[in-house]
Chains A and B, each alone.
Chain A
Amino acid sequence: DAGVTQTPRHEVAEKGQTIILKCEPVSGHNDLFWYRQTKIQGLELLSYFRSKSLMEDGGAFKDRFKAEMLNSSFSTLKIQPTEPKDSAVYLCASSASKNTLYFGAGTRLSVL
């Protein structure tokens, strides 16, 4: 049984670029989460989908961050335009509702 798959594992972007991160949740899971992880802030929730519907758009993150779930087995997180402060590890997680979260290995983003 495949876990959560995130690509790419590493991404380097110039300031102002648009980048798209990808996530494939565990098959059959209907909740999908995007988090940003930094040493200072810890894990911050960016977006949350239930059965492909956007339930949380991340509040302060929504101006440059846009998550989409095109189908139940694929989600993207677009950051446009990138800024150096966006450098972090971006994590995707999925769960069957009201159950344990399964995390991907993350995408490490560096914005120069």
Chain B
Amino acid sequence: EQQVQQSPASLVLQEAENAELQCSFSIFTNQVQWFYQRPGGRLVSLLYNPSGTKQSGRLTSTTVIKERRSSLHISSSQITDSGTYLCAMERGTNAYKVIFGKGTHLHVLP
């Protein structure tokens, strides 16, 4: 069973458009992180957002734990935003075990 579901699986935007990426969990969690990966590149943490809304530059994450979902909003997309965005949750009560979704592949066109 895929415990972390991400949508859409892929997304194509024109530069300067906004993007909304979604993540949902099959079980309750209290820790959510968003990551970014360029093709062939290292996974980089974008936002650590256990609940509520957090912003970093053009990125805004909103997590609603009770509804088992989180979203990542990218405003004014740039070509360099192209890559894969992954959502991750902590699973387990006593251990910090991090499980990932399969990602949203974003392609920003000039």
Q: Cα distance A74–B42 when bound, in Å?
A: 20
Contact A98 B96 (CB under 8 A): yes
Neighbour of B48 across the interface among A100, A103, A106, CB < 8 A: A100
For A76-107 the 0/1 string (1 means CB < 8 A from B) is 00000000000000010101011111111110
Q: Cα distance A51–B72 when bound, in Å?
A: 32
* Chain A-chain B contacts (Cβ-Cβ < 8 Å), number: 46
Contact B42 A101 (CB under 8 A): no
Is there a chain A Cβ closer than 8 Å to B71's Cβ?
no
Neighbour of B42 across the interface among A45, A55, A100, A106, CB < 8 A: A106
The residue among A41, A101, A103, A104 with the most chain B CB atoms within 10 A of its own CB is: A101
- Majority secondary structure of chain B interface residues (helix, strand, loop or mixed): strand
Interface size class for chain B? 10 to 19
For B33-59 the 0/1 string (1 means CB < 8 A from A) is 101000000111100100000000000
Is there a chain B Cβ closer than 8 Å to A14's Cβ?
no
Q: Inside 8 A of A31's CB, which chain B residues have their CB?
A: 96
Instruction: Add 18 more A-B contacts to A48-B97, A50-B95 (CB < 8 A).
Output: A31-B96, A33-B98, A35-B100, A45-B97, A55-B97, A56-B95, A91-B43, A93-B98, A95-B96, A97-B96, A98-B31, A98-B96, A99-B48, A100-B45, A100-B48, A101-B35, A103-B44, A104-B42
Chain B residues with CB under 8 Å of chain A are 31, 33, 35, 42-45, 48, 86, 88, 95-103
